[in-house]
Structure 1
Amino acid sequence: MQNFINLTPFPALQFESLDQQDHGFTSVVARLSYDLDIHSGTLRLCKEQGELVEQDEYFGETGRSSTRFESDLAPYKPRLDVVINATAWAPQDNAVKSFTAGIRIGEATRLIRIFGAREWRKMIASWQLGEAKPIASLDLRYEYAVGGFYQPAGAEPIASPANTVGMGWYPRAILKQTKVQRLPAPQIEWVTHPVENIDRAIAPAGFGFYGRGWQGRIEHAGSYDQAWQRDRHPLLPQDFSFDYWNGAHPWLQFPLPEPLKRLPVSLRYLVAASEVADQQIHLSVPVESLFIFLTTEQGAGVAQDMRLDTLVIDLPTRKIHCSYRTVVSELMSPVMTELRFIAEEERQQQQMLAARLNGDPHSSGFVPLPPSLLKQRQPGEADG
């Protein structure tokens, strides 16, 4: 493995991987953390940046509860994951039978409906949803969305293919055994895709990390069949897709934002009225100038932008975590990789310094710039 030098204040790691065609590449990942002011929407880089998340962290029992933070050690993500850990609050914090909360990411809006405790009620020929009890707030976790896991006596476990930690989904095998007339029902659903059938396994509603083995994600992991066991183990199946590494809900995955841009985010009813009167939070997440500068065996220097591919808004801690990633093919034969960062207020100065030193054949100085900054017009440069 080539040498890795982290010249930034952010936790970072370099590691090697293989793709589904057995081609080698190196991944570099870094995690930036901000303090969030929920009143102004202002973001400030945390003084203490913490560490990379190297193992999945759960809200409760490992593997039996929803994921709070997924490991940063994904080799590559083709899209941006947006994850929001939060509690939904009813308007003015007043208990109601149901209310809508939502988020806006760029131009995309996602709305969920929150219900108080409610039940499936057995009728003559079907199960119907009963009226919900009033509720003022509910943690947004997949435990309250449609799904479930059952362990019948003397039989194999039965789990929802779409959400093993959820509630309110009852397969026919379980319904045949039950003798009760009422069963707990889901409390979170998509506004556009309401829960309507007690035994239909559908994608759960939520803004958190999506289970690695759930329908909608597991399909991208490829085929681990006898042919793979015989011909490929322990390598990746050839039908593996890197889409698998995107860990947000499939409806909260977006195109990777361009470097140096900003990503507008709005949150509604994810904060109590006692803290923010109108219960709205508006912020703008910067896509920072974070990049690698690598040196090859041939002595060439190459700069490459890191891409923001994971945005986690953790409202309980008032923190925002942004993971950046890039990959380098082994064919480039890198021997040294430096991780560099240029703060927004320093970009113009660095551009001017690079223009002065890098183009001077008599200068011994050199200022690496990422492609995103090189594409910008230098200060004072004439049109032409």
Structure 2
Amino acid sequence: MENFVNLTAFPALLFDSLDQHDHGFSTVVARLSYDLDIKSGELVFCEDQGELVEQDSYFAEQGRSSVRFESDLVPYKPRMDVAINATAWAPEDKPVKSFTAGVQVGDFTRLIKINGPREWRKMIATWQLSESQPITSLDLCYEYAAGGFYSSEGEKIIASPANSVGMGWYPPEVLKNLKVQRLTAPQIEWPTQPIQKIDQQSSPAGFGFFGRGWQGRIELAGRYDEKWRKDRHPLLPQDFNFAYWNGAHPLMQFPLPEPLKSVPVTLRYFISSREIENQQIHLQVPVESLFVFITTEKGAGVAKDMVLDTLVIDLNERKVHCSYRTVISELMEPVMTELRFIKAEQRQQQLDLAARLNSHSAEPQFVPLPPSLLAKLQQVKTNG
């Protein structure tokens, strides 16, 4: 492993990995945290940047509750995860049987339907949903989406392959042992995919981190069969897909943002009207100028932009957490990797300094620039 120097105020780590073809690479990951002003949408760096999330953390019991933060120790993500930890609030905080809340990330809109408490009621030949009771607010977590986990006296475990922490999903093998006429039903669903059957298998509705072993994600991990045990263990199966490392709900995974731009986010009905009258929150999440500068065994210097691939909006704590990542192939033969950061208000100053110093071969000083800023410098030279 090459030497790693963190020249920033953010928690960061370099670690080694192998891909599904046994090619080696290093990953640098850093986590940036902001305090969120919910009224203005302003983001300010937290004084205490905390630490990397090195293992999944849960809202309650591990394995039986939703993941609050998924581990940052991920080799690579091909898309940007957006996760929202929040409470959904009815319009004007007035009790209603159901309401729709939503988020817009760039040009993408995602809506979710919140229902008040409701039941499955046994009829002669089927189970039917009751009307919802009025509700004012509900925590936005997969515990209220369709799913479930059951264990029998014989210790047989039956879990929803789509959402093992959910509610209101009852397969035939569970129903046959229940001598009741009413059962709790899911309260969170997609407006376009309403829950209609008591044993319906569907992707759970939610904006939080998606279970590693759930349908829709676990398939990407590849086949760990007898052939793998015989020929590959403990290496990755060759049909492993790095999209497995994307931890947000599949509907909350988006194209990676461009360097030096921002990610516009609008949240609706995830805040009480007592705090914001129209119950909307608008924010622009900046893509910071965070980069690595790599010195190779042959003495070459290579800069790479870090990529924003995980955005967690924690409205409960009024925080926004951004994880950045980049990979370094072992073929580069790196011996030293430095993590560097240029504040937005200092970018032009760094560009000017680099233009003055880096163009003279006799100049002993050198100003590393990430490719995103270097492109701006080259553009200035071309235009002027």
- In the other structure, the counterpart of 1:299 is 299
Distance 2:367 2:383 in 1: 24
Given residue 208 of structure 1, which amino acid in structure 2 is its aligned partner?
Answer: G
Which residue is equivalent to 2:58?
58
Letter in 2 for 1:109: T
Aligned to 1:329: 329
Specify the alignment match of 2:84 in structure 1: 84
Counterpart in the other structure of 1:368: 368
Q: Which residue of the partner structure matches residue 36 of structure 2?
A: 36
Deviations 1:314-366 (A, max 9, x none): 00110000000000000000000000001110001101110110001221110
CA distance in 1, matches of 2:272, 2:162: 30
Letter in 2 for 1:373: L
- The one-letter code of the counterpart of 2:50 is G
1:77-130 alpha-carbon deviations (Å, 9 max, x no partner): 110000000000011111111111100000111111111110011122221110
Deviation sequence 1:26-85 (CA, Å, 0-9, x none): 000000000000000000111110000001000000111000000000011110000000
> Deviation digits for residues 164-191 of structure 1, max 9, x if unmatched?
0000000011112222111100000011
Q: Aligned letter for 1:213? A: G
Unaligned runs of 5+ in 2: none
1:115-152 residue CA offsets vs partner (Å, 9 max, x unmatched): 11100111222211101111110000100000001112
**Residue 383 (structure 1) shift:** 2.5
User: Is 1:133 aligned to 2:133, yes or no?
Assistant: yes
TM score, norm. by length of structure 1 = 0.98
1:265 alignment counterpart: 265
Q: Which amino acid aligns with 1:251?
A: L
Percent identity, aligned pairs only, is 70
SS at match of 1:376: helix
Shift of 1:378: 5.6
In structure 2, C-alpha distance between the alignment counterparts of 1:379 and 1:197, rounded to whole Å = 59
> Does the 8 A contact of 2:122 with 2:181 survive in 1?
yes
Q: Secondary structure at the match of 2:63?
A: coil
Change (3 A) 1:380 1:371: closer
Match for residue 106 of structure 2? Answer: 106
> Letter of the aligned partner of 1:45 in structure 2?
F
Contact between 2:351 and 2:377, CA under 8 Å: does it hold in 1? no
1:371 to 1:379, Cα distance in 2 relative to 1, 3 A: closer
The answer as to whether partners of 1:352 and 1:379 remain within 8 angstroms in 2 is no
Aligned partners of 1:87, 1:10: CA distance in 2, in Å?
Answer: 28
Q: What does 1:224-373 correspond to in 2, within 5 Å? A: 224-373=224-373
Q: Could you tell me how far apart the structure 2 residues matched to 1:383 and 1:56 are? A: 49
Task: Tell me how far 1:153 sits from its aligned partner.
Answer: 1.9
SS at match of 1:362: coil
Classify the secondary structure of the residue corresponding to 2:219.
Answer: helix
Partner SS state of residue 316, structure 2: helix
Aligned to 2:69: 69
Listed one character per residue, the Cα deviations across residues 217-246 of structure 1 (whole Å, up to 9, x for unaligned) are 000111111111111111111111111100
Letter in 2 for 1:209: F
For 1:316, what is the secondary structure of its paired residue?
Answer: coil
How many residues align? The count is 384
CA contact (8 A) 2:16 2:25 kept: yes
Counterpart-to-counterpart distance in 2, 1:4 and 1:178 = 58
Correspondence for 1:145:
145
Q: CA deviation at 1:371?
A: 0.5
CA contact (8 A) 1:103 1:111 kept: yes
**Deviates most, 211-220 or 170-179:** 170-179
> Is the partner of 2:292 in helix, strand or coil?
strand
- In structure 2, the partner of 1:157 is 157
Mapped to 2, the partners of 1:380 and 1:259 lie a distance apart of 18
8 A Cα contact 1:84 1:313, kept in partner: yes
Q: Is the 8 Å Cα contact of residues 355 and 377 (structure 2) preserved in structure 1?
A: no
Alpha-carbon distance between aligned partners in 2 of 1:158 and 1:48, rounded to the nearest angstrom: 43
CA distance in 2, matches of 1:301, 1:123: 72
- Counterpart secondary structure, 1:317: coil
Moved over 2 A (4+): 377-384
RMSD over aligned CA atoms reads 1.1
Task: Name the residue aligned to 1:166.
Answer: 166
- Amino acid paired to 1:188: I
Between the aligned partners of 1:85 and 1:380, the Cα distance in structure 2 is: 42
Q: Do the aligned residues in 2 keep the contact of 1:352 with 1:378 (CA within 8 Å)?
A: no
Q: Distance in 2 between matches of 1:87 and 1:347?
A: 37
Which structure 1 segments of 5+ residues have no match? none
- Shifted more, 88-97 versus 205-214: the winner is 88-97
Instruction: Note if contact 1:3-1:335 (Cα within 8 Å) is conserved in structure 2.
Output: yes
